[in-house]
Amino acid sequence: MTDQLSQAELVRQSLKRRYRKEWRFRTYGILAIGVAILALVILFTDIISKGYTGFLKTTVTLEVPLDPELMYLDDPTDPEQIRMADFVAPLQQALLNELPTAEKGDRRELGRLMNSYAANQLRDQLQANPDWLGTTRTMTFLANTDVEVYVKHKDDEAYSIKLSDQQQRWVDELVDRGVVESSFNDVFFSSGDSRDPSNAGIAGAIVGSLLTMLVTLCLSFPIGVAAAIYLEEFAPQNRWTDFIEVNINNLAAVPSIIFGLLGLAVFINLFGMPRSVPMVGGLVLTLMTLPTIIISSRASIKSVPPSIREAAEGIGASKMQVVLHHVLPLALPGMLTGSIIGMAQALGETAPLLLIGMVAFIVDVPGGFFESATVMPVQIFLWAGSPELAFIERASAAIMVLLAFLISMNALAIWLRKRLERRW
Amino acid sequence: MIKLKTAFASVAVAGAMAAVSTPTLARDTINIVGSSTVYPFATVVAERFGRNTDFPTPKLESTGSGGGLKLFCQGIGTQHPDITNASRRMKPSEFKNCQSNGVKDIVEVKIGSDGIVIASSKKAENLDISLKHLFLALAKEVPNKAGDKLIANPYKNWSEVDSSLPNKPIVVMGPPPTSGTRDAFVELAMEGGCGEIAMIDSMEKKAKEQVCHSIREDGAFIEAGENDNLIVQKLNSDTSAYGIFGYSFLEENSGTLQAAVVEGKEPTIENISSDAYPVARSLWFYVKKAHVGVVPGIAEYVAEFTSESTWGNNGYLVDVGLIPLERNARMQAAKNATSMKTMTGEELM
């Protein structure tokens, strides 16, 4: 009797301790989540606070006098004359007209407010519209990167302003008059890389990423699914298939740079394919994503209940009919989810592409699978390493674009799973 | 189910086609590889070239000087690069490698100089240091007080090295051994400094090189990765630290950073181009003559690079931090480049 009482007493005494233990355990869990969320918040605030200005461009809108004498040009269709013509002078003159305080001797200093490729833009537009010669046109140009940095970050100590005091006063005046304006940065989404931050865009990298991903998807999805079906449904259970299975699982954990080395050795050195092209990039990333797709496809085939197979076999379906008509459609949502996650992983990959030459300065937007290209994470890497401070905001803006792509791919995977998945 | 099957079939066919059709294309874009130090200059030239001519913009890969020369010397043919940039001169062994792979005619172009600076935040005390003291502060092993044997670097504070230096702990961030900047720093600064120490100077060549080239690993020297921007950011937040990187990064951040005076010379454009500033090196590029005329635009690219408006005193490369050659040397280099004068191998000896 006394023994039993002390038993109950013991339990009561330990109760407090056990509650405390549970409370501690839950607190640890909450703390862990808190740390994770904090890290995420820090990451996002850092990227967004640094990068949102990357989505703004600074433009200069001028009344440009297309005076033949100023440009030493009387026939814009003559390539020889175009080459010898002076396209900077009209821009300087236009700025001089806007700024009553500036004097003729300031032309050179004024010209520095214009983008380094403003003269090229003027030349191209004049070549396209020869009849503009002799008229005065309202044209919009990108501002010089130094002007852009000044307009955006004049109060930010991290940026060094490279304009002289005189130039700063001019820019302030031009901003007041609405000549210098900030607007949405469409250049960022429509042009390729540039060494001048104000002209740099992510279009080349986006197209490069899409081309590379297309190759990866077209190869890794059918190969992965076919391999998974064979291994799961048809392959005999023996030492060979065990060996293959272990190897596939191992491959999923191999560092991605190894696949880059393999790609360099096989596709470029052995098959003689060109460097830096989306085709080779796609092949390398295919190798990298295949294990992920095979493993997830096998898991989703496994999760199809045996009763479905047995029912199909029961009414006389052949093995192939069972697989193609019943197992595959039911396993497809899981396979798609796995593939999309594998593709998202491949989209963010840089290391293997380094070795096959896709980490390169490429200005022209690629037009096919065999044209030089980079991908988005590589572009971010290249900009983050550039000496120009204005590239930092571009890099952060590009990170946001990449994150948007990744989030929408993952959202698609979740949506597909929610919509197509069946529970038994 | 038919739909599913056709969908599958079309994906599989597309995949197979993409895998099989690998045409060997004649290349019309110039391929350039090489030094990450020359990269910021060469990219500007390449982009201008692309915008101002009808040729496509050349493709540039930053592979490092050694990696670039290796790719360059692999052979003749469009799968190999046309031009390689280098932040040091080609080595005789590399020239031999090129020759044995059939890359016989190489045009060498010296484009200018780059200084390596030891910078700190403007809020910090600036260093005024000699190469000898720099070596003593950063070497792995230094002579002991008596000067008769080598000991592990005992200096914790700059002032322990020499009383003229600030009384602050030695914290220097610099590039890792894979970087060309590190090679140049070791060769120019560390080697220059250790040559002034009689005890090390009298050692035999191999052992001397070993001592001169070793940077301390006890935490005073921090390897900050290839990304010079990272060092710049860290210097802004940590005013007790110093950073080692190329002159162009100093110029870009002149608002917040200052550079150490080395051997009494400030790293200015004048001092670097006249070789008065001791930690400066020359930049080069090499052209494969056999590709001129095969890949369109190579001669025009070289002409663009070597024109006065590009690399001259008022050229656009100066705006991005290149330190130009002196005018006579520049004129001679431009003449040799445009006439495609090839190397004999003698000049490297």
Contacts 24+ apart (CB under 8 A), A44-47: A47/A396, A47/A399, A47/A400, A47/A403
Amino acid at residue number A134: G
Note whether residue B289 is domain-resident.
Answer: yes
Find the largest Cα–Cα distance for chain B. Answer: 90
Total count of domains within chain B: 2
Instruction: Record the tokens describing residue B82, joined without a space.
Output: 């046309």
Which one of A160, A223, A325 has the shortest CB-CB distance to B254? Answer: A160
Q: Last residue of a domain, which of B280, B299, B326?
A: B280
Listed in sequence order, the residues at least 6 apart from A317 whose beta carbon sits closer than 8 Å to its beta carbon are A325, A326
B210 and B125 in one domain?
yes
B144 and B122 in one domain?
yes
Could you tell me if A231 and A244 are in contact, meaning their C-beta atoms sit under 8 angstroms apart?
A: yes
Per-residue pLDDT tens over the stretch B196-248: 888 888 888 888 888 888 899 888 999 887 677 778 888 888 888 999 988 87
Quick check: B228 and A219 CB within 8 A? Answer: no
Instruction: Record the tokens describing residue B316, joined without a space.
Output: 């656009």
pLDDT band of residue A223 (cuts 50, 70, 90) is very high
Tell me which of A104-113, A415-424, B33-42, B88-97 is least confident. A415-424
Say if A364 is an interface residue toward chain B (CB within 8 Å): yes
| pLDDT value, residue A279 | 95
pLDDT at B21 over 50: no
pLDDT at B17 over 80: no
Percentage, residues of chain A above pLDDT 70? 98
B254 and B123 in one domain?
yes
What is the rounded distance in angstroms from the CA atom of residue A212 to the CA atom of residue A352?
13
Per-residue pLDDT tens over the stretch A124-166: 888 888 888 888 989 999 999 989 999 998 888 777 787 888 8
B250 and B186 in one domain?
yes
For A26, A32, A133, A399, B107, the CA distances from A38, given in Å and listed in that order, are 18, 10, 60, 19, 56
Identify which of A180-189, B138-147, B340-349 has the greatest average pLDDT: A180-189
B162 and B181 in one domain?
yes
Quick check: A361 and B252 CB within 8 A? Answer: no
Quick check: B252 and A215 CB within 8 A? Answer: no
Q: Using DSSP, state whether B308 is helix, strand or coil.
A: helix
What ipTM was reported for this prediction? 0.78
Quick check: A360 and B61 CB within 8 A? Answer: yes
What is the rounded distance in angstroms from the CA atom of residue A79 to the CA atom of residue A398?
38
How close is the nearest chain A Cα to the Cα of B69, in Å? 15
Higher pLDDT, A423 or A66: A66
For B140, B218, B229, B242, the CA distances from B170, given in Å and listed in that order, are 13, 11, 21, 8
What is the rounded distance in angstroms from the CA atom of residue A73 to the CA atom of residue A84?
8
Say if A215 is an interface residue toward chain B (CB within 8 Å): yes
Q: Using DSSP, state whether A178 is helix, strand or coil.
A: coil
Pairs across A and B, CB distance < 8 A: 111
Quick check: B43 and A361 CB within 8 A? Answer: yes
Per-residue pLDDT tens over the stretch A335-376: 998 999 899 999 999 999 988 989 899 999 999 999 999 999
Q: Sort A76 into a burial class: Cβ within 10 Å, 0-12 / 13-18 / 19+.
A: buried
B162 and B147 in one domain?
yes
User: Per DSSP, what are the bridge partners of residue B86?
Assistant: B284
A 283-322 residues inside an 8 A Cβ radius of B: 283
How close is the nearest chain B Cα to the Cα of A361, in Å? 5
Q: Nearest residue on chain B to A321, judged by CA atoms?
A: B1
Angle B289-B80-B63 from CA coordinates, rounded to 5°: 105
Q: Nearest residue on chain B to A373, judged by CA atoms?
A: B59
Q: Sort B290 into a burial class: Cβ within 10 Å, 0-12 / 13-18 / 19+.
A: middle
A60: enclosing H helix or E strand: strand A56-65
Percentage, residues of chain A above pLDDT 90? 59
B276 and B139 in one domain?
yes
What is the rounded distance in angstroms from the CA atom of residue A253 to the CA atom of residue A339?
16
CA torsion through residues B196, B198, B203, B207, sign: negative
DSSP secondary structure letters along A101-170: T--GGGHHHHHTTB-TTHHHHHHHHHHH-GGGTTSEEEEEEEBPHHHHHHHHHTT-TTSPP-S-HHHHHH
Q: Sort A410 into a burial class: Cβ within 10 Å, 0-12 / 13-18 / 19+.
A: middle
pLDDT band of residue B312 (cuts 50, 70, 90) is confident
Residue A3, CA atoms < 13 Å, CB-side half-sphere: 0
- Give the right CATH number for A203-420 from 1.10.3720.10, 1.20.1260.10, 3.40.50.1220, 1.10.3470.10: 1.10.3720.10
DSSP secondary structure letters along A366-424: P-STTS----HHHHHHHHHT-S-THHHHHHHHHHHHHHHHHHHHHHHHHHHHHHH----
Mean pLDDT of B305-328: 87
Higher pLDDT, A387 or A87: A87
A 68-107 residues inside an 8 A Cβ radius of B: none
What is the rounded distance in angstroms from the CA atom of residue B215 to the CA atom of residue B190?
9
Place of tokens 């070549």: A127
| pLDDT value, residue A163 | 85
Best probe of the B interface among A195, A214, A225, by most B CBs < 10 A, is: A195
Higher pLDDT, B37 or A23: A23
The domain of B144 spans 115-280
Contacts 24+ apart (CB under 8 A), B248-251: B248/A387, B248/B40, B248/B114, B248/B320, B248/B321, B248/B322, B249/A387, B249/B321, B250/B117, B250/B119, B251/B321
Which one of A274, A360, A389 has the shortest CB-CB distance to B60? Answer: A360
B258 and B138 in one domain?
yes
How close is the nearest chain A Cα to the Cα of B131, in Å? 27
Residues from chain A contacting residue B316 (CB–CB below 8 Å): 116
pTM over 0.90: no
B298 and B255 in one domain?
no
Say if A194 is an interface residue toward chain B (CB within 8 Å): yes
| pLDDT value, residue A4 | 65
CA end-to-end span of chain A, whole Å? 52
Which one of B1, B79, B252 has the shortest CB-CB distance to A388? Answer: B252
Q: Nearest residue on chain A to B11, judged by CA atoms?
A: A218
Q: Where are the domains of chain A?
A: 53-184, 203-420
Say if A168 is an interface residue toward chain B (CB within 8 Å): no
User: What is the residue-averaged pLDDT of chain B?
Assistant: 85
Per-residue pLDDT tens over the stretch B28-41: 899 999 988 888 89
Q: Sort A204 into a burial class: Cβ within 10 Å, 0-12 / 13-18 / 19+.
A: buried
Note whether residue B268 is domain-resident.
Answer: yes
| CATH for B315 | 3.40.190.10
Per-residue pLDDT tens over the stretch A239-280: 999 999 999 999 988 999 999 999 999 998 888 888 899 999
Quick check: B23 and A273 CB within 8 A? Answer: no
User: What is the residue-averaged pLDDT of chain A?
Assistant: 90
Per-residue pLDDT tens over the stretch B59-89: 999 888 888 999 999 999 888 999 999 988 8
| pLDDT value, residue A99 | 87
What is the rounded distance in angstroms from the CA atom of residue B46 to the CA atom of residue B274?
27
Instruction: Record the tokens describing residue A230, joined without a space.
Output: 């064979």
Q: Nearest residue on chain B to A274, judged by CA atoms?
A: B79
How close is the nearest chain A Cα to the Cα of B163, in Å? 33
Quick check: B229 and A384 CB within 8 A? Answer: yes
What is the rounded distance in angstroms from the CA atom of residue A117 to the CA atom of residue A120?
5
Mean pLDDT of A387-391: 83
Q: Last residue of a domain, which of B222, B251, B280?
A: B280
What is the rounded distance in angstroms from the CA atom of residue A349 to the CA atom of residue B207?
43
| pLDDT value, residue B102 | 92
Mean pLDDT of A67-91: 85
The DSSP 8-state label assigned to residue B145 in this structure reads: T
| pLDDT value, residue B226 | 66
Listed in sequence order, the residues at least 6 apart from A186 whose beta carbon sits closer than 8 Å to its beta carbon are A57
B238 and B139 in one domain?
yes
A284: enclosing H helix or E strand: helix A278-302
Per-residue pLDDT tens over the stretch B258-306: 999 999 999 988 888 888 899 988 899 999 999 998 999 999 999 999 9
Q: Nearest residue on chain B to A272, judged by CA atoms?
A: B79
Residues from chain A contacting residue B62 (CB–CB below 8 Å): 359-361
| pLDDT value, residue B18 | 46
Say if A120 is an interface residue toward chain B (CB within 8 Å): yes
Amino acid at residue number B123: K
Q: Last residue of a domain, which of B260, B280, B300?
A: B280
Place of tokens 């290149």: B322
Could you tell me if B95 and B348 are in contact, meaning their C-beta atoms sit under 8 angstroms apart?
A: yes
Which one of B1, B22, B79 has the shortest CB-CB distance to A325? Answer: B1
Best probe of the A interface among B4, B57, B236, by most A CBs < 10 A, is: B57
B95: enclosing H helix or E strand: helix B92-100
Measured in degrees and rounded to the nearest 5, phi and psi for residue A352 equal: -65, -25
Which one of B22, B29, B229 has the shortest CB-CB distance to A372? Answer: B29
What is the rounded distance in angstroms from the CA atom of residue A67 to the CA atom of residue A382?
41
Quick check: A364 and B15 CB within 8 A? Answer: no
B319 and B243 in one domain?
no
B163 and B237 in one domain?
yes
Quick check: B40 and A195 CB within 8 A? Answer: yes
Q: Nearest residue on chain B to A275, judged by CA atoms?
A: B79
For B45, B49, B104, B289, the CA distances from B339, given in Å and listed in that order, are 19, 19, 17, 11
